[in-house]
Structure 1
Amino acid sequence: MTEERKAPAIRFKEFSGQNAEAWEQRKLEECSEISAGGDIDKSKLLNNGKYPVVANALTNDGIIGYYNDSFRIEAPAVTVTGRGNVGVAKARNENFTPVVRLLSLKSDYDVVFLENAINTQNIVIESTGVPQLTVPQLGNYKIFFPSPPEQRAIGSLFQDLDKLITLQQRKLEVLKEQKKTYLKLLSPAKGQKKPVLRFAGFEDEWKEVKVSDIFRVTRGQVLATTEISEEKTDTHKYPVYSSQTKNEGLLGYYDKYLFETAVTWTTDGANAGTVNYREGKFYSTNVNGVLLSDEGFANKVIAEILNNEAWKYVSKVGNPKLMNNVMSEISLVIPNDFREISILSSLFQDLDKFIALQQRRLDKLQNMKKALLEQMMM
């Protein structure tokens, strides 16, 4: 968007055309009252109450508790994070109290519009330490504003989109929690040999094994990123897995493979101990350990059981690590009957597919919002 155009690429029909009003650019300090948060009165802070107490944080919308008898900022207003992950705006529609490092804006503009307008500013604070956004710095940012009716129309659109995104996020979170619950109920508790919940026809005790009893323990190999294709092609058709957690560790695609149907784990770094089942032919980088089995133990449910245990053995001295020799000695309790292993593996694979589907739907909604913001804001 250019200042000369003074209008976004996409507008609602009733606000477009030859006689459409141009957007007006103003500094935030000229059109809003900006203030910084203060200290928390811990003697008044409650887990539940009437007025939210909002911190400089992104989780739980920043709410850390409630006051029952007082508030500092009257809604509607917008808060902006002022330290760390700076510049994240949030519309507030109930009276609240901001705490240290959280900035608040009061204005006559639609708060949902203003939230999204600020969030498109890509606020970056150059700092050798922890980035911090001050009241004067925020006040110097320039925002393009349409007429009040157009603000409300845009704000309503993005408010509806945010509701859809929130619902989809909750659906995804519920599915992930359900998977954890199923794994807990369908696996023996600590010190036990039988699960609480089982499929019909299975009554035998599970057996305890070491990883080295059922797997050959090895490791991936170094691969230059320049050799990897971001997209799957006719030549680069084998997935390359690394230590990252994004996209389930998928780094890209390569024209050769090292392994076929195995279990991998992250050996180094922040994600050390993360275990994944890898079906089919694939390449694994050197920051992944690989567990191979000719007897069918490389399957989804064994990977899930191991993932619940492996993190306990990660060395936290310096860079987190879970090396081959330590992995080899980890004990697991697994089904005796391969039929039970097969049924459980199918269940968790189906759950993961459904979770992946819901994640794609969430990604689609978030990408839709991002695209609309780019086209409907200036």
Structure 2
Amino acid sequence: MSDKKRNVPVLRFNGFSDAWEQRKLGDMGKTFAGLSGKTKEDFGHGNAKYVTYMNVFSNPVSNHKMVESVEIDTKQQQVQYGDVFFTTSSETPEEVGMSSVWLENIKNVYLNSFCFGYRPTAIFAPYYLAFMLRSPILRKKFMLLAQGISRYNISKNKVMDIQVLIPALTEQKKIGAFFQHLDNTIALHQRKLDALKQMKKGFLQQLFPENGEKLPRVRFTGFQEEWEQRKLGDMGKTFAGLSGKTKEDFGHGNAKYVTYMNVFSNPVSNHKMVESVEIDTKQQQVQYGDVFFTTSSETPEEVGMSSVWLENIKNVYLNSFCFGYRPTAIFAPYYLAFMLRSPILRKKFMLLAQGISRYNISKNKVMDIQVLIPALTEQKKIGAFFQHLDNTIALYQYKLDQLNILKKACLQNMFI
């Protein structure tokens, strides 16, 4: 007999063998309404709080800091420890009926008007309940209840008819503690990743000179010389991306081209973010040390994004929505990659953006941009610093991605 037919999950902790009990949510608790009878003038002040829609939508366990002010109103239902909140409306059926469990003992806290509450009368391990209601099997049940066309709604009476499978309380606690620990680990890695990204942002600001200055605010020890100001056009030549192609020319062939999103997303190009095209001797092949620039974007903030190519691979071209720059001066490539992404350079690119609904940049204007360049030894030091920082960020991002994959798999296999 399969695990599903025996009412047990695929993945289970040792020591538990009993079948899970099937019950309706409505048999194990009662619903209550969120705030009612309010106008926009009632919000933003007062000594009470209400749990926001985005708090419920975003968190299996409610964040007690994601609340906003409202006046105390004795006619409203206060939330209690162990209450569950459900969103009643969303733009897609996949996002309707998102749940969040409240695990605080705070007076004068209400629920927003776009959600309804559920107060269990049965005893649950709260973290088990929080993650069981977010498991794929339960989310599918909520999606099937979503009604609407441009906006989807869910009936609390229908939610109360949902059948759920419940293990003994000791097993609930074990499962809940596991997901609580996993979520805490994910949150820790996310905080570390955010801190590293913030650190990188700060150093991009401070390790390159501001406008009108000839030295950066922060400098590695042992370097004292002033930086030299030069035009990009005096230190290299431009070349065009692919030309004379139609959509039928792409997706096959023994050559590759660097995609627009590769250039847009990466200070140093990712050699795996390339796509197929036929070999064409009339096209310009890219070389180690080439710099690519995007020529067009929907906002001026995103035009002229740069990426340095650090591969020695034959028959690789540049996409047609970018242009290339081949330095004739000697640069430390990682210095060049991050200097061109520094806030001071990004401001210069933004000022060159021309357009209304879509913004474009002239490569001739880009070549007129003045940049400040230190000696090669200092370039290498700065470049190595950012290379190491980016590698550390990538490592934490990988760990975070793996933890989220693990959580997804466990949500799939530890509930029925």
TM-score, scaled relative to structure 2: 0.72
Corresponding residue to 1:272 among 285, 294, 302? 302
CA distance in 1 between partners of 2:308 and 2:85 (Å): 43
Q: 2:218 aligns with which of 197, 200, 224?
A: 197
Please name the residue that 1:56 is paired with. 54
Query: In structure 1, what is the Cα distance between the partners aligned to 2:209 and 2:161?
Result: 60
Post-superposition Cα deviations, 1:93-128, rounded to whole Å, max 9, x if no partner, equal 114433232343322433322222222214544754
Residues 93 and 347 of structure 1, relative CA distance in 2, 3 Å threshold: same
1:226 Cα deviation (Å)? Answer: 4.5
Q: What is the letter of the counterpart of residue 127 of structure 2? A: V
Match of 1:232 in 2: none
Alignment deviations for residues 228-264 of structure 1 (CA, whole Å, 9 cap, x no partner) = 9xxxxxx89x795442778988574557794233334
Give the one of 278, 289, 299 matched to 2:333: 299
Q: Assess if the C-alpha contact under 8 Å between 1:217 and 1:328 holds in 2.
A: no
Q: Which moved more, 1:287-296 or 1:90-99?
A: 287-296
- Aligned residue for 1:197, secondary structure, equals coil
CA 1:295 to 1:79, structure 2 compared with 1: closer, same or farther past 3 Å?
A: farther
Aligned equivalent of 1:357: 395
Contact 2:79-2:111 within 8 A present in 1 as well: yes
Q: Which residue of 1 aligns with 2:381?
A: 343
After superposition, give the CA deviation of every residue in 1:287-336 in whole Å (9 maximum; x if it has no partner). Answer: 444433243447233332332343734557324x3434486267353223
In the alignment, structure 1 residue 91 sits paired with structure 2 residue 84? no
SS of 1:90 mapped into structure 2: strand
8 A contact 1:239–1:283 mirrored in 2: yes
Runs of 5+ unmatched residues, structure 1 = 229-234
Structure number, greater radius of gyration: 2
Q: How far apart, in 1, do the equivalents of 2:168 and 2:192 lie? A: 36
Structure 2 unmatched ranges of 5 or more: 280-284
Q: Aligned partners of 2:397, 2:193: CA distance in 1, in Å?
A: 7
Matched, 1:14 2:45: no
Q: What does residue 406 of structure 2 align with?
A: 368
CA distance in 2, matches of 1:326, 1:68: 60
The match for 2:81 is: 75
Could you tell me how far apart the structure 1 residues matched to 2:195 and 2:10 are? 38
1:333 paired with 2:371, answer yes
Contact 1:80 1:89 in 2 (8 A): yes
Determine if contact 2:10/2:414 at 8 Å carries over to the other structure: yes
In structure 1, what is the Cα distance between the partners aligned to 2:101 and 2:155?
Answer: 19
Using the alignment, how far apart are the partners of 2:240 and 2:32 within structure 1?
A: 54
Give the Cα–Cα distance (whole angstroms) in 1 for the partners of residues 327 and 291 of structure 2.
9
Following superposition of structure 1 onto structure 2, how do residues 185-224 of structure 1 map, counting pairs within 5 Å?
185-218=206-239, 220-221=241-242
Given the superposition, is the C-alpha separation of residues 252 and 325 from structure 1 closer, same or farther in structure 2, using an over 3 Å criterion? closer
Q: Residue 178 of structure 1: which of 199, 206, 220 is its match? A: 199
Confirm or deny that 1:112 pairs with 2:127. yes
Does the 8 Å CA contact 1:240/1:284 hold for their aligned counterparts?
Answer: yes
CA drift of 1:140 comes to 5.0
Q: CA deviation at 1:362?
A: 0.9
Aligned pair count reads 363
Residues 337-356 of structure 1 deviation map (CA, whole Å, 9 limit, x = unaligned): 22222211111001000111
Residues 171-223 of structure 1 show CA distances to partners (whole Å, capped at 9, x for unaligned) of: 11111111112222212223322111112332333344454444444554478
1:259 aligns with 2:281: no
| Mapped contact 1:89–1:116 kept (Cα < 8 A) | no
Name which of structure 1's ranges 122-131 and 298-307 shifts more when overlaid on structure 2. Answer: 122-131
Report the TM-score when normalising by structure 1: 0.78
Asked whether the 8 Å contact 1:265–1:289 carries over to 2, the reply is yes
Q: Tell me whether 94-103 or 209-218 shows the greater mean CA deviation.
A: 209-218
Question: 2: CA distance between counterparts of 1:131 and 1:213?
Answer: 58
| Structure 2 counterpart of 1:318 | 357
1:243 is aligned to 2:243: no
Distance 1:370 1:265, change over 3 A: farther
Q: Kindly indicate whether the alpha-carbon contact (under 8 Å) linking 1:78 and 1:106 is maintained by their aligned counterparts in 2.
A: yes
- Residue range with higher mean Cα deviation, 82-91 or 350-359: 82-91
Contact 1:56–1:100, Cα closer than 8 Å, also in 2: no
The 5-angstrom pairing of residues 161-172 of structure 1 reads 161-172=182-193
Q: Deviations over 1:12-69 (max 9, x none)?
A: 12212xxx1234153x4443434453357435358xxx96643335679581435797
- Residue 168 of structure 1 and its aligned partner are, at CA, apart by 0.6
More displaced 10-residue stretch of structure 1: 173-182 or 163-172:
173-182
| 115 and 316 in structure 1: CA distance in 2 versus 1, 3 angstrom threshold | farther
| Mean CA deviation greater in 6-15 or 206-215 | 206-215
> In structure 2, do the counterparts of structure 1 residues 343 and 106 end up closer, same or farther at CA, with 3 Å as the change threshold?
same
**CA 1:203–1:162: 2 relative to 1, 3 Å:** same
Q: Find 1:101's aligned residue among 114, 126, 131.
A: 114
Matches of 2:29 and 2:257 in 1, distance apart? Answer: 51
Cα distance in 2 for partners of 1:36, 1:291 equals 62
